[in-house]
Amino acid sequence: MRSIVNRFNAVSVVRRASCLVAGGTLAQRVVLVAWSIIPAVVHAQATATDSTRARRDSLERVVITAVRPTIAAPTAQSLMGRDDIQRRFAGQDAPLFLQSLPGLTSYSEAGGYSGYSYLRLRGVDQTRLNISVDGVPLNDPEDQVLYFSNVPDFLSSMQSVQVQRGVGASAFGTASYAGSLNFQPVPLATTPRGGAAEITGGSFNTMRASVQGATGMRDGGFAAYARLTKQHTDGYREHSGNDAQSGFVSAAWFGDRAALKFTGFAGVSGIREAYLAAAESELTLNRRLNPLTDHEGDRFHQEMASLQYSRSLADGVTWSATAYRNSAGGAFDVDFGDGSIGNYFLAHVWYGAFTALNVRRGNLSFDAGAHLSDYHRDHALAMRPTLSLREYTNTGYKQEQSAFAKLAYDAGPWRWSADLQLRRAAFRYTPDAHANIPEASIDWTFVNPKVGVTWRASNDITLYASYGRTGREPARGDLFAGADDVNATNAASVLPLTRVQPETLGDLEVGATWHAGDLTVQASAFDMQFRNEIAPIGQLSLTGSPLRKNVGSSARTGMELDATWQATAHLTVTGNIALLHARIDRYTDDAAAITYHTVEPLLSPPVVANQRVEWQFSSEWTLSLGGRFVDRMRLANDGNAAMVVPANWLADSGLTWQHGEWLVRAQVANLLDANAYAGGYAAEGTRYFYPVASRNVLITTRRSF
């Protein structure tokens, strides 16, 4: 239709031009006619090109559109785009990079940069966050966690990441229980031809080399993107380094109304382990102390590949189908303290497929999706040095089927929305051949509804409210009380699998967005009411994590404020603050036989605040200064005010020089060299901490081409 209109406009211009010059000379007529025709033809071609680009982009974004709520949705959300990533990213693990967003905290076992790092949202750990890339779920179905150390430099290949806080919108994979992280890869339809090579080096012998490139849209509708990275760090803590490599590739063919896209990534990481925190008294003597020995390590690899077919069925109607395969494997060491070292082996294979539909017709928006997956993971233990002789081998199987439908209707300044997800998950355990117990299995079914309303009160003010309810099944570690193997000796304390109940959450969210010239403010308040929360109230596991059990009722309420002020064309000020009141109403400590009432849960700081100023003081130079405050965090669930991680405020800075294709950026973390801790645990009245790295510098050089 648009091409017909463009042709009609061009013909009309020609006719008008001919009439205007009817009385002139032949030369004048030619010049004036050409002068009139050329802009019309150029406009017609540009409009057609823009239309094609938009159509291809919509085909590539079918799944993103289905799982990501729009800015008008009644959801507390933050979006970090490509510009934000390229300005500050230097290869660090995603949890450490994303912690500047509202309500997020993180810590690294190694002290910083790369290794095992963990994210918490509103004080809830990342096993309760739905994590996906282009809609493909990444949470391991058994543990419901993604180890970002397996996919180093992941953010280099991302166009954006959206963080939803609270129940949020339905997606594929594990329940979006406390929130979600949805990653969008570099889009092939709109990324121009070009690339970049980067080298990063700095403190603690940290080094990274990365190269990436995109073909742009080629003749015949083909486009591709690829990245390769190799990085190394010794780690801040003693013998806590990491050697890692990763790659990312995507390629697509775009037709007139259809697209076929492949996305894949792979990573391998060899880590010197630091999973145990150090006692406070030991850290006063040596802040870099790592209780583990230098011969305890691990090595894991992970791969994901997906193939997506998208098609425009009609104007405003697009559909896609995606198939994926995810695999990972490796082993890690645990020192049992009696001179023996166990080597735990893990390997999984995971297949899945999902479909998504987008409909945009007038005031109506409709999105739907369905997903199914099949997963199994082998667990084994061998004792060093005889790794060929296994103490046991067992297998866990997990299947999932789910479907969702989302509807939004605009009525004047109001947008009414509803979202319903049906989800079934099933787990089956096959014990070792010599365990002397039968197979065990269990399944769960969840109905997860959400409703919301958004009111555009004026051109500058938008208000929203939503309520959602979701349920989540226990992870394997919850079912087995942290045991990696269930056999005749411990089955009585674990089985049947119904001992640990699924947990549910009712989440009320209200919020507002206010624009006033160059100032934008987003505010939200939430009331999260949990039933049978699987909370970390048990004893410490071998790797320092508290075991989790059901608690009858618990809650998290609070407020979040996020502001951006474009003070001048060259000066930007941003900041956010999250206030949290978290409590467990009642639970019993089985080991001490004590019942506690109204106590604060672990690692849930009452205040988290971030501040940043970016000043482009010349055409080539930009200076940034940032600060981050994290309030004290409980290390024990017994209300003991002494068992906390002390509050801390950390500063960082960055200086960037950019000229043409060259960029050089120097970043200083912990600028004031604060003596700070990011996490830990308590045992027998002693505080154990994971320290934050002392002042450290990273310098990145990038050459674009």
Q: What are phi and psi of 77, to 5 degrees?
A: -150, 155
Q: What are phi and psi of 631, to 5 degrees?
A: -70, 170
Closest CA to 324 of 339, 295, 303: 303
pLDDT at 41: 41
Confidence of residue 584 (pLDDT cuts 50, 70, 90): very high
Asked whether the predicted pLDDT for residue 29 surpasses 70, the reply is: no
DSSP assignment string, 167-220: S-S--SSS--SSEEEEEEEPPTTTPPSEEEEEEEEEGGGEEEEEEEEE--SPTT
If you average pLDDT over residues 485-506, what whole number do you get?
94
If you average pLDDT over residues 573-578, what whole number do you get?
98
Asked whether the predicted pLDDT for residue 7 surpasses 60, the reply is: no
pLDDT at 31: 37
Positive or negative, the CA dihedral 157, 160, 166, 172 is: negative
Asked whether the predicted pLDDT for residue 323 surpasses 90, the reply is: yes
In the block, which residue shows the tokens 């080539």?
620
Asked whether the predicted pLDDT for residue 100 surpasses 90, the reply is: yes
DSSP assignment string, 414-426: EEEEEEEEEEEEE
pLDDT at 590: 80
pTM as predicted: 0.90
User: How many residues can be counted in the chain?
Assistant: 705
pLDDT at 50: 60
pLDDT at 548: 84
Q: Cα–Cα distance between 379 and 346 in angstroms, integer?
A: 5
If you average pLDDT over residues 568-584, what whole number do you get?
97
pLDDT at 3: 39
Q: Cα–Cα distance between 38 and 19 in angstroms, integer?
A: 17
pLDDT at 8: 35
Higher pLDDT: 35 or 301? It is: 301
pLDDT at 543: 65
Opening angle at CA 360, ends 354 and 366, nearest 5 = 50
Give me the chain's average pLDDT, please.
91
- What does the DSSP 8-state code read for residue 499? G
pLDDT at 609: 98
Asked whether the predicted pLDDT for residue 544 surpasses 90, the reply is: no
Segment 169-210, tens digit of pLDDT: 999 999 888 999 999 999 999 999 999 999 999 999 999 999
Asked whether the predicted pLDDT for residue 119 surpasses 70, the reply is: yes
Closest CA to 680 of 204, 108, 126: 108
Asked whether the predicted pLDDT for residue 49 surpasses 60, the reply is: no
Segment 597-631, tens digit of pLDDT: 999 999 999 999 999 999 999 999 999 999 999 99
CB 674 within 8 Å of CB 646: no
Residues above pLDDT 70, as percent of the chain:
92
pLDDT at 53: 74
If you average pLDDT over residues 18-44, what whole number do you get?
42
Q: Which of 54-58, 264-268, 506-510 has the lowest mean pLDDT?
A: 54-58
Residues above pLDDT 90, as percent of the chain:
82
pLDDT at 337: 81
Q: Cα–Cα distance between 696 and 114 in angstroms, integer?
A: 14
pLDDT at 665: 98
Determine the 3-state secondary structure of 493 from DSSP: helix
- Longest pairwise C-alpha distance within the chain: 105
Structure token digits, residue 687? 């505080």
Q: Cα–Cα distance between 441 and 439 in angstroms, integer?
A: 7
- What does the DSSP 8-state code read for residue 288? T
CB 353 within 8 Å of CB 371: yes
Asked whether the predicted pLDDT for residue 2 surpasses 50, the reply is: no
Structure token digits, residue 33? 């006619």
pLDDT at 40: 44
Confidence of residue 1 (pLDDT cuts 50, 70, 90): very low
CB 87 within 8 Å of CB 572: no
If you average pLDDT over residues 425-443, what whole number do you get?
97
pLDDT at 46: 43
Asked whether the predicted pLDDT for residue 112 surpasses 90, the reply is: no
Asked whether the predicted pLDDT for residue 144 surpasses 70, the reply is: yes
Q: Residue 361 pairs with which residues in a beta bridge?
A: 364
Q: Residue 335 pairs with which residues in a beta bridge?
A: 341
Closest CA to 20 of 42, 36, 39, 38: 36
If you average pLDDT over residues 656-682, what whole number do you get?
97
